[in-house]
Structures are given as structure tokens and as C-alpha cells.
Structure 1
Amino acid sequence: MNETAHALGASRTLWELVDRRAGLTPDRPVLLQGDRTLTFGELRDGAERTAAGLYGMGVRPGSVVAWQLPTRIETVLLSFALARLGAVQSPVIPYYRDREVGFALRESRAGFFAVPGSWRGHDHTAMAGRLGARGVFEAYDTLPDGDPAVLPPPPADGNAVRWIYWTSGTTSDPKGVLHTDRSLIAGGSCLAHALHLTADDIGSVAFPFAHIGGPDYVVMLLLYGFPAVLFEHFAMETALPEYRRHGVTVAGGSTAFYSMFLTEQRKVPGQRLVPTLRLLAGGGAPKPPEIYHAVVREMGVRLTHGYGMTEVPMITMGAPDDTAENLATTEGRPPAGMEIRIVDATGTPVPAGVDGEIRLRGEAVCQGYTDPAQGADSFDTEGFLVTGDVGHLKESGHLVLTGRMKDIIIRKGENISAKEIEDLLHQHPAVADAAVVGLPDEERGERVCAVVERRPGAGEPTLAAVSAFLRGEGLSVHKLPEQLEVVDALPRNEALRKVLKYKLRELYG
């Protein structure tokens, strides 16, 4: 990390970070969307005017403001306006509907709710009315406006809870995760430090800004002073021309995005899909090694993958100058200040190379949950977050994820890692994507069920053929799937396209 970025990373609050960057490079662009450009100076000044408009509506420091908005320049302005006021903001993924939105509004006790009106065929304003939301206002292309002279001083305490993010609910109801400005700055600093970016880079935000990855990414832009292209709704066929037009150098989002890039690259083998692109980066879901090798081999770019969650926006990240072996098989290393502890079933730390549950402690870790009862079981007696993820540390400090506690299938008393089987299935020529789950079984306790997406143009995979392939790759016989389901598309969430394994268990169990 260069000296300027390091100094900016010490900012106490997000607003201080915005103000300091605007003072350094006011005329440099920060956000690009279609034909629109917003500079760092315009981000600061526009957010202040919006903050004044919100203040006139009754929003005060500490007010809880929920917003469910697509990834637009206005959304970023509104979010930083709330940061300027010191309000508590609760971003909600724009694809969520009554059940999830109602849950978030109730749990956060939001006094205000910003919506886009009707967006992509759904009337968010009407939904807010059905849910009895308070202080509803539309903020799609017009934002509240006022004279910044009316504003109180900016917040100074970066350790106060000012953010409520919602887990994706891939296993159960969402949880409201409490964050501070400093925890978000720490997460974004980890990402920025690992990727070795410069002021000459051009990034892209292809996922909902309401996701915890939104501030992660914008912190990186503020630290290094480069812009990113925003996509209101991501679709590869419309995104590619924008990547090319703006000369994007860094793209990605999650494993599903890497697969989408590969699909397009395979339509034009031998050509550079995006001539300026040099790096794909992301996280949020496991990365099979075969995906890494295919991206490097077929696209001619580097791929770095990281490990994060709503509770800790960035834990580890691969670095572009790391070895191919580490980039393919690990999630990278943690930054200074992030402690990773691997423990056994009794909570005792285990040595390098031994699998165990991953626990975390550091500035980027959340402050707990809106429901205090959830927090009581989520932190151990030494203040480490209990993640429920399984993995091990290499002697080099690189983290290897091997699954989640819930992804450990117990078949006839033997522990089986779903991720081990998934990584091998990704190498099968007829498989585009795969998810492995354990299903209740009277005889075995659990049986192994593989659910796969068929690769376009490939034949229909059969259980016998898949089992033969897995045995040929060296998988132990007791780990072979006993059930195979072939689907057109795996169920996913709308943020980073994570597979919803609970839906697979419900469907096939």
C-alpha cells in the first residue's frame, strides 16, 4: 500500500476518508455509469447537499435509515450523505421482497426507508406501504437537497455502530450484522492492500452496492484514487460493451462471475474478451482450483480470490504476485491486524495443516447482531468470532477453506467434505457448476447428493459416469455421491450469486 493510501486508511470515519480524498484529487473521477461521471469532489459536495436535505426531513445523527436501492450514483451519494450525518443505515438488497424487507425493517426499527419507486417490474413504494414502513421516500434519480450550512458537525467516533447489514439467509432467516465505520474501512483496506492497484486502474461494481462488498470496494477507490464502473443490474451481454468502453482493468465479484466471463471467452477463443482487463478478483463463495486455471489459461489474466462474510467484509485475499499454487488452492493471507485461529471441537487451537473451525478477531470484525441472543453464541470467551467455516492454515499463513460445518456430511460415522467433491466435479467436462449436500438417510445417517448444472452442448451426466470420473480422480469410494440431480440452474441469491444449499436440501431431502 502506498504512503497516501496508508495515511488515508487511518481515517476515523468514512466521511473523514471522503473529505480527505476529495481534498487530494477533487477532479479525478470516482464513479462511472453510462455517460455519467462523478468526481471525488462531486461525491463529497453532493453528499453534503443530500445530507442537508435529509436533515430537513428529520434525519438526525443516530436515526435509523433503511434503503433498498439499485447500484447507482445516487445510491452511493445517499449512503455517504447518511455517513456525513452520522445516521445508522441499513442497506437492503434490492431484489428482496416482502418477507426479507419486512424482517429488516422490523429488526432495525428503521424510522426512514428510501426506495427506488417501481424498479424492474416491482413497485417498491407499494411494498413499503404494505409493510407499514415509516418515513418512506423515493431516491432513484432525485435525492433530497439542502444547504450544508444547516448540518451539525460530522461524526468523529469511528467505532460507533452506524451500519446494519443483513446476511444472505442462505441457511436460515437473515441476521442483522452491526458494523462501524472503522470496521468497513479495515475491510476495504485489506482488499486494497492485497490487490496492488494503482491510480491508473479502472474497477467495476457488478454486484449490489447494498451488499457488504459495496463499502469494501468504495473504500478501495477512496484509498487509491481511481474510478469504478457501476452496473445497475448486471447482465454479461450488456456489461461487456461497458467494460470495453471504459477500459476496465479489474473486474469480478464472485466465483459465479468468473464462470460467466469464461462462458463468454469460450465464444471467442484466442481473442481478448476485454482488451484492458488484467485482473479478475472476488470472493463470497468457494473457488474451485479448475476455475482459477481456466481463467488464467483461456482469458490470459490473473485471478485473485478472497474470503469474507457479512460479519467480516474481508478476511484474506490472494495477491496477484503470489504463486499459482496458492492462488488456485487458497484464499490468500490475512492482513496485519486480522487474527485467524483454527480450533478443534473443544475450542483448542490446532497446528498448521490441520483442519478445524475458523475463528476471527480484528478491527474488521463486526460488533455483533441486532438480536443479542445471536451474538452470545457467535463469539468465544477471547472475543473471536465463531464462523462455522472449516479450513486450515499453511505454514506460509495462507488460508485453505475446506467447507462449512453444515457442509460436513456424516455418512456412516465418516466425515465427508462437500467442497472436496465439488472441486472435482468442476473438472468434469459435462459439468458447468456443482453443489454437494448431505440428505437424511435412515441407513447411512446422511447420503451424498450431487446437484450439477450441465455444461451447454455437453451430454447429460449420469450417476454412473460421474462416479467413474470421481473414482478416476482418486476420490475414496465412501465419498462417492449416491444421488445425482441435473438442473438447468442452481438456486442462488441475488447478491454474489451464492448457491442456496438449504433449498437443495428442501427439494431433494
Structure 2
Amino acid sequence: MSETAHALAESQTLWELVLRRAALTPDRPVFLQDDRSLTFGALRERSERVAAGLYELGVRPGSVVAWQLPTRIETALLSFALARIGAVQSPVIPFYRDREVGFALRESKASFFAVPGTWRGFDHAGMAHRLALELPEPPLVLDAYDRLPDGDPAVLPPPPADGTSVRWIYWTSGTTSDPKGVLHTDRSLIAGGACLAHALHLSADDVGSMAFPFAHIAGPDYTVMLLLYGFPAVMFEHFALPDALEGYRSHGVTVAGGSTAFYSMFLTEQRKQPDRRLIPSLRLLAGGGAPKPPEIYHAVVREMGCQLTHGYGMTEVPMITMGAPDDTAANLASTEGRPPAGMEIRIVDGEVRLRGEAVCRGYLDPAQTAEAFDGEGFFITGDLGHVTESGHLVLTGRLKDVIIRKGENISAKEIEDLLHEHAGVADVAVIGLPDEERGERVCAVVEQAEGAEELTLDAVTAYLRGRGLSVHKLPERLEVVDALPRNETLRKVLKFKLRERFS
């Protein structure tokens, strides 16, 4: 990390970070979207005017403001305006509907709720008003898609100076139960973004990209990196290939990514014209949020002509480890990178535990907080892994992804990594299914590669035997699907849906 970025990373609040970056490079762009751009100086000035408008509507330091907005310049302005006031923000992923949104509003006790009106065919304003009627203290609903409140900054109180107070409530995906409200501070988000910036070795000449929801924990993670280094990112309100390629090309994006599913989508497009670089300016794909099979790394480097670095993070700890572009191919393919200074990793009975400034303060529910931390303040991740002699973290799966067959533990990830190398497999998820005799049986659920010969269980097990997989780990069932079920944020595979379907 450069000396300037290192100094900026010491900022106590996000608003202080905005002020310091705006003073350094006021005329450089921070966000690019279609034919629009916003400079660091304008981010400071416009956010403060929006803050004044919100203040006149009744938003005060400590007010809880939920917002469910797409990845747009206006969304960033609203978020930084709330940071200027010192409000508590509760971002909600735009794809969530009544159940998740109603839960978030009720549990956070939001006094205000900003929505995009009707967006991509769904009436968010209608849902917001409908849900408000069910709450004992309904929030004030604000339409914040393309117009924001405006006012005179003279009405504002001084900006917050304390970066360790809880001012963010993020929501876990809630795929198997109600979401958890994750509590973050400005300092925990700055620490997470600094970890990402430290690992990627970026410069002011880079152009990044946001193809994920700004309301995801990756939103502040990435934005902090922009503020530390003073380079812009292209915002995609809706990401789909090949339509989004024009935005990458026209803005000269040098750093792209998202998660493993994004890498696969880029590879699919690259393979349509293998002799022409998909994005000529691209030098780095970077992301995290889901397991990365080693073969994906090798395919990206080989076919797209750029480097790939992958990291490990979660809503509770937005950035834990990250691969560095100058690391060895073996480490980049098979590990999640190394932690930055200040992130402690402890392995307890094979499980990864974490302690550091980027770790959340816990959950809205105190009982969930008590369960999530051990007696020494380490956050219990539920992920399995080990740390190599060089300090790299290797994840081997999740506790719930361990299949127990006849008393033997089987890693779903080990089988998935091998099947990802099969020419006929586009994507795969391995799950355990209940079995009265064995406890669980191994089931491989596969998306076939386009044009590939139809897979059979015998062919899959023969392939895995040939790769040296132990007999007791071989799948006993194969399911071929058109598409694996995924969430709408980082496109993670929803294994619980597969278990429900095939149990």
C-alpha cells in the first residue's frame, strides 16, 4: 500500500476519508456510469447537500435509515450523505422481497426507507408502503432512484468523529432462515477495504468496476479502496453479459471481478472469440465470496491473458485474506491468499476463527452474538481450513458442507474441485443426502458444458477414480440440471435448495 493510502486508511470515519481524498484529488473521477461521472470533489459537495436535505426531512445522528437501491451514483451519494450525518444505515439487497425486507425493517426499527420506485418491473415503493402498514412505527418512505433531497449544508451539525460506533446493519442472505442483522462500524469497513487495497497493488491509473449490488458488503469494501487510491470504478446498475462488455471496454476497465460465477461468465464470453481479448485493457480479475476451483484460475490466466486473485470474506468480516497479483501461481490457484497485518487467524479443530478490526461487532440479536464469538473474542466462521507455512489460508469447505458417510468425513469441495476439471462439466455442487443405512450419501449436481456428451454416474465415478479420489468419497448419485440455483448478489450456489429438491 502506498504511503498516501496507508495514511488515509487511518481515517476514523468514512466521511473523514471522503474529505481527505477530495482535498487530494478533487477533480479525478470516483464513479463512472454510462455517460455520467462523479469526481471526488463532487462526491463531497453533493453528499453534503443531500445530507442537508435529509436532515430537513428529520434524519438525525443515530436515525436508522434502511435503503434498497441499485448500483447507481445516486445510491453512493445517499449513503455518503447518511455517513455525513452519522445516521445508522441498513442497506437491503434490491432483489429481496416482502419476507426479507419486512424482517429487516422490523428488526432494525428503521425510521426511514429509501427505495427506487419501480425498478426492473417490480414496484418497490408499493412494497415499502404495504410493509409500512404492518409495522407499529412505520418508516417514512423516500423515492431515491434519480432524485435526492437537497439542502443547505449550513443546517448540518458537525460530522461524526467516532468511527467505532455501530452505524451499519448489513443482512446475511437468510437462505435457510430469517436473515441476521450484522453490526459494523466505519472503522471495520475501512479496515476491510484497506485489506483489499493492500493485497491488489493498485494505483491511481487503474479503473475498477462494480458489477455487484452496492447494498452488498462489497459496496463499502470496494469504495474504500477507491478513496484510498484515488481511482474510479464503473458502476453497472444491472450486470449481464455480453451487454455489459461495452461498459468495460469504453471506460478501459483494468480491474474487474465479483466472484467465481463472474469469472466463469467472463470465460464463457472469451471462448466465443478465443483469438480476441475480451476486454483489451483488463489486467486483473479479483473477487471472492464463493469457493474458487483451481482450474478456474488456470483457465482465466491461460485464456483471458490476465491475472486472477481471489480472496475470502463474508458479511461479518468483509475482507479476511486476499491473493496478491505477484504471488506464485500455485498459491493463487489453491489458496485464498494471506491476511493483512491486524487480522488474526486461528484454526480450532479444523475450523477458521478470526479476530481483528474488520470483524463485525456482532448481530442485532445478542444471543446470536454470544454464539458467534469464543471466549477470547475470535469470530467463529463455520469454515474449515488450514494455514500453510507461508501464511496462506486454504479453505477446505464449511462445517455444513462436510458429508458424513458411514462415520467418515467427506469434503464436498474436494470432489467439486476435481469435477470442475472435467471437460463436460460447466459447474457443479456436491451435497449430502439423507440415507438410513449410511447416514448420508454423496450426490453430485452438475451443469453440463454446452455441446458435451451426456454425463452418467459411471462416467463421473470412473473419472474421479482416475484422478485418485478415494472410493468412499465417490458420488453415489448424479443429477444433471439446466442451471444451479444461485442468489442474486455474488451468484453463490444455494445448496439448501438442492438438498430440498433431491432429498
Smaller-chain TM-score range?
over 0.9
**Residue 388 (structure 2) aligned to one of 390, 394, 409:** 394
Query: Is it true that 1:49 corresponds to 2:54 in the alignment?
Result: no
Q: How many percent identity over aligned positions?
A: 82
- Give me the TM-score of the superposition, normalised by structure 2: 0.98
> Could you give the per-residue CA deviations for residues 204-247 of structure 1, whole angstroms, max 9, x where no partner exists?
00000000000000000000000000000100111101100000
SS at match of 1:65: strand
Deviation string, structure 1 residues 310-333 (Cα, Å, up to 9, x no partner): 000000000000000000000000
Cα deviation digits, residues 40-67 of structure 1 (max 9, x gap)? 0000101000000000000000000000
Equivalent residue in structure 2 for 1:424, among 410, 413, 418: 418
Where in structure 2 are the equivalents of 1:99-118 lying within 5 Å?
Answer: 99-118=99-118
Instruction: State the TM-score, normalized to the length of structure 1.
Output: 0.97
How far residue 107 of structure 1 moved from its aligned partner, in angstroms, is 1.1
In structure 1, what is the Cα distance between the partners aligned to 2:195 and 2:362? Answer: 21
Q: How does 1:163-242 map to 2 (within 5 A)?
A: 163-242=168-247
Structure 2 equivalent of residue 98 of structure 1: 98
Partner of 1:67: 67
1:306 aligned residue: 311
Give the structure 2 partner of residue 33 of structure 1.
Answer: 33
Q: CA deviation at 1:469?
A: 0.7
Contact 1:171–1:500 (CA<8 Å) still a contact in 2?
no
Query: d(CA) in 1 for partners of 2:453 and 2:367?
Result: 50
Residue equivalent to 1:350: none
Distance, in Å, in 2 between the alignment partners of 1:451 and 1:20 is 50
* Superposition RMSD in Å: 0.6
Q: Residue 19 of structure 1 corresponds to which residue in structure 2?
A: 19
Structure 2: unaligned runs, 5 residues or longer: 133-137
Number of aligned residue pairs: 498
CA–CA distance in structure 1, aligned partners of residues 273 and 108 of structure 2 = 48
Alignment of 1:268-347 (within 5 A): 268-344=273-349
Aligned AA (2:387): L
C-alpha distance in 2 between matches for 1:63 and 1:273: 45
Candidates 353, 360, 363, aligned match of 1:366: 360
Do residues 413 (structure 1) and 398 (structure 2) align?
Answer: no
Aligned equivalents of 2:82 and 2:168: distance in 1?
A: 10
Write out per-residue CA displacement over residues 446-465 of structure 1, whole angstroms, 9 at most, x where no aligned residue. 01111111111112211111
Match of 1:493 in 2: 487
How far apart are 1:169 and its partner, in Å? 2.2
| Superposed displacement of residue 483, structure 1 | 1.1
CA distance in 1 between partners of 2:240 and 2:322 (Å)? 26
Partner of 1:364: helix, strand, or coil?
coil
Q: Give how far 1:174 is off.
A: 1.3
SS at 1:312 equivalent: coil
Q: Distance in 2 between matches of 1:148 and 1:482?
A: 65
In structure 1, give the amino acid aligned to 2:368.
Q
Q: Distance in 1 between matches of 2:128 and 2:276?
A: 47
1:168 to partner: Cα distance: 1.5
483-492 vs 156-165, which deviates more? 483-492
Q: For residue 103 of structure 2, what is the amino acid of its counterpart?
A: F
User: Letter of the aligned partner of 2:174 in structure 1?
Assistant: G
Post-superposition CA distance 1:338-386 (Å, at most 9, x none): 0000011xxxxxxxxxxx0000000000000011111111000000000
Q: CA deviation at 1:489?
A: 0.8
Stretches of structure 1 that go unaligned for 5 or more consecutive residues are 345-355
Q: Is the 1:159–1:180 contact (alpha carbons within 8 Å) kept by the matching residues of 2?
A: yes
Q: Following superposition, which runs of at least 4 residues in structure 1 exceed 4 angstroms of deviation? A: none
DSSP-derived class of the 2:242 partner: helix
Q: Give, in whole Å, the separation in 2 of the partners of 1:122 and 1:210.
A: 17
1:171: Cα distance to partner? 3.9
- Cα shift at 1:173: 2.4
Q: Contact between 1:85 and 1:154, CA under 8 Å: does it hold in 2?
A: yes
Kindly report which structure 2 residues correspond to 1:124-163, keeping only aligned pairs within 5 A, or say none: 124-132=124-132, 133-163=138-168
* Contact 1:312/1:366 (<8 A) preserved: yes
Q: 1:35 Cα shift?
A: 0.1
Residues of 2 paired with 1:273 and 1:9: CA distance? 34
Amino acid in structure 1 at the alignment position of 2:228: L
2:77 equivalent in structure 1: 77
| CA offset digits 1:269-296 (Å, max 9, x no partner) | 1211111000000000000000000000
d(CA) in 2 for partners of 1:39, 1:113: 27
Mapped to 1, the partners of 2:324 and 2:27 lie a distance apart of: 30
> Is 1:467 the counterpart of 2:489 in the alignment?
no
